[in-house]
Structures are given as C-alpha cells and as structure tokens.
C-alpha cells in the first residue's frame, strides 16, 4: 500500500508514533524516525521496522527549534532523496488547572505540539511543492475538539493543529498534496500509563465503547490516509476515540 514511499514521523520512537512507523514499514514505506531524547527507543523502533525489508533511520531533533527542524529535514532528504509522507506526532503534556498553570508549561506544550508541526511542514513544504505530491498527517486529539479541564495548553495546541491542517490543506491542494488530522481519544500509551487507576476507570466510563484504544488502531488510519486510497480526502479531522467526542 505504501511501497516505495518515504515517511517522516516525529515522535516516532514510542507510543502512537512507533505504531505508525511499524505500520508504515509493514506496508513497504521507508521510515525516518525523529525523536527528542530516547535514542535507545528510536534505535529499537528503527531496527524493528527494518525487519519488514525497508530502510529505517533515526534523527534526534528538537522540533521546537526552527533551525534544528530545517537541518533535520535537509539531512533526511540527503539520506532518502525525497519525502512522500510527513506525520507530525511529537507531543508532550504538562497538565494543571489554568489557575496554577505556569507560563513555561503553556509555552513548552504549545512549542512542541503546535510550533513543532509548523516547523516540519514549513521545511518540507518547498520539497513537496516541487514534486507536486505528498501527504501530511497531523496527530491532534479529541481534546482539541472538545476541550479538557486541566489541559488549557494541550487542548489549545491540538485545536491549533486542526486549524493548521485546514490551512495547509487549502494551500497545497492545487499541488496534489493532502493534509489531514487524526484526533485520538484515550489511547494506551506511556502518556496514559501515568494516570491513576481511578482516573482511567473514570475515563473509560465516558467512552461509549467502554475501553481505551490501542496505538495500532490509530496507525491503521494513518496508513490509509497516507495511501493512494485517500487521495481525495483533505482538510479532514478524523476521531479515533471510541465515540467519546461525538
């Protein structure tokens, strides 16, 4: 389904990003994994992806930095010659009620989750325009659609990603480039593993399907959006949330 394509995945070493990297690799795509600090996790993901017979590389990059993102994109293009798919998955949380949220916590989440996506799109934009082909997938969140108490920074960043998605989709559609967002709900990742049993139980009670999602369920949708089957879909935000946001 993705044979011969090159995919760049930010936050690709763990959780949803790792699942997307492995799903893409299983469908024939070469993989460039961008990670923040856990080199061992990135290496393990790349090695696992390469078992599918594809090329897989790792790149450490602070996506918050415009210049660091620019250099990393250049390095990837030098190594892989082209990029067909960009998945903006890198994200962090620093939750607290707005009354006690620090400016630093707000800025850190916005810079990583939203500005990081902008930086990567900005530096791959000219390449995809020249090739008149490409797919951009932004991993937003159901929190960006509904809001969530204690997540003013995270919800704002994820809502911003949806606006960014629609704008990029409109700008690049004439060049045959699509841009869509995926809005996961409660997914079993390192991020949700930090939650207490009480919070998890309360969350599951709000989900019509009465369970948390798996990273692989998000990855399957990402693979579809990255494939030629989805060439007439752009500017959309698709929830993978068990019905919690409906």
What's domain 6-236's architecture? Answer: 3-Layer(aba) Sandwich (3.40)
Q: How far apart are CA 11 and CA 91, in angstroms?
A: 7
Residue-range domain boundaries for the chain = 6-236
The overall average pLDDT reported for the chain is: 96
pLDDT digits (tens, 9 = 90+) for 116-148: 999 999 999 999 999 999 999 999 999 999 999
Q: What is the mean pLDDT of residues 11-18?
A: 97
Q: 39 near 63, Cβ under 8 Å? A: no
Angle between helix 152-172 and helix 103-110 axes, rounded to 10 deg: 30
Q: 233 near 222, Cβ under 8 Å? A: no
pLDDT digits (tens, 9 = 90+) for 25-46: 999 999 999 999 999 999 999 9
Q: What's the alpha-carbon Rg for the chain, to the nearest Å?
A: 17
Residue with tokens 């994994």: 33
Q: Is 193's pLDDT higher than 80?
A: no
154 is catalytic: yes
Q: How far apart are CA 166 and CA 142, in angstroms?
A: 16
The catalytic residue among 35, 125, 154, 186 is: 154
- Selection from 160, 200, 164, 186 nearest residue 243 by Cα: 186
Q: How many CB atoms sit inside 10 A of residue 108's CB? A: 16
Q: Could you say which DSSP state residue 14 is in?
A: S
**Type and span of the H or E element at 123:** helix 116-131
Go through 1-15 and write b for each residue having 16 or more CB atoms within 10 A of its CB, e for each that does not.
ebeebbbbbbbbbbb
Q: How far apart are CA 33 and CA 65, in angstroms?
A: 17
What pLDDT score does 70 carry? 98
At residue 171 the predicted structure's pLDDT band, cuts being 50, 70 and 90, is: very high
Q: How many CB atoms sit inside 10 A of residue 71's CB? A: 13
Q: Could you say which DSSP state residue 112 is in?
A: I
- Look up residue 121 and give its two tokens: 């799109």
pTM of the model: 0.96
At residue 2 the predicted structure's pLDDT band, cuts being 50, 70 and 90, is: very high
At residue 195 the predicted structure's pLDDT band, cuts being 50, 70 and 90, is: confident
Q: How far apart are CA 223 and CA 29, in angstroms?
A: 10
């Amino acid at each position: 389904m993705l044979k011969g394509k090159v995919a760049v995945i930010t936050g690709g070493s763990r959780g949803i990003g790792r699942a997307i990297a492995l799903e893409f690799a299983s469908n024939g795509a070469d993989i460039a994994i961008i990670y923040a600090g856990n080199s061992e996790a990135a290496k393990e993901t790349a090695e696992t992806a390469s078992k599918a017979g594809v090329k897989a590389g790792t790149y450490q990059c602070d996506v918050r930095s415009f210049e660091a993102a620019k250099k990393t994109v250049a390095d990837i293009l030098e190594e892989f010659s082209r990029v067909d798919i960009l998945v903006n998955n890198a994200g962090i949380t620093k939750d607290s009620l707005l009354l006690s949220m620090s400016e630093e916590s707000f800025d850190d989440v916005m810079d990583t989750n939203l500005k990081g996506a902008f930086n990567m799109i900005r530096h791959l934009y000219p390449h995809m325009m020249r090739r008149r082909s490409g797919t951009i997938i932004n991993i937003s969140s159901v929190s960006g659609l509904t809001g969530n108490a204690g997540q003013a920074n995270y919800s704002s960043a994820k809502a911003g990603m949806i606006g960014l998605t629609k704008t990029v989709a409109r700008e690049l559609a004439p060049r045959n480039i699509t841009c869509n967002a995926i809005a996961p709900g409660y997914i079993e990742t390192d991020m949700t593993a930090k939650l207490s049993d009480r919070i998890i139980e309360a969350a599951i009670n709000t989900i019509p399907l009465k369970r948390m999602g798996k990273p692989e369920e998000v990855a399957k949708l990402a693979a579809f959006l990255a494939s030629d089957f989805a060439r007439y879909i752009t500017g959309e935000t698709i929830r993978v949330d068990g019905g919690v946001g409906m």
